Structure 1
């Protein structure tokens, strides 16, 4: 149980390091990263140009190399 909790916390921390909350009004500001991240639970799928993107709290994800990467809004 302790290992599972530690693993989930490290995954959440990894996902949070790829974006930060900045001014104004606490909106997420995306800093694209080259390493794959895990799409958060509750992310909504969107299709654009034949590619399935996911969005969660203003952060956009697209498939890449067996995972997902954070990208700017596709449209």
Structure 2
């Protein structure tokens, strides 16, 4: 199931939320819970059919990396 924040363009210039990390932004506006419950969706790279504002994140072996993993990110898809 994709999580989409339809007002993603309204976030430009707004204050950071939570602890300022990328995950806090996606969790607040897409109403997502604990990252341990996140499920990997389809690949983003090269897929031009993904709707603007869709929550996207990095996954390793189907899970969002936990702890101090160096390569993790969450965001809203823009184009």
Fold conserved between structures, TM > 0.5 = no
Query: Which protein is richer in strand relative to its size?
Result: 1
Q: TM-score, normalised by structure 2?
A: 0.24
TM-score, reference length from structure 1: 0.25
Which is higher, the Rg of structure 1 or of structure 2?
Answer: 1
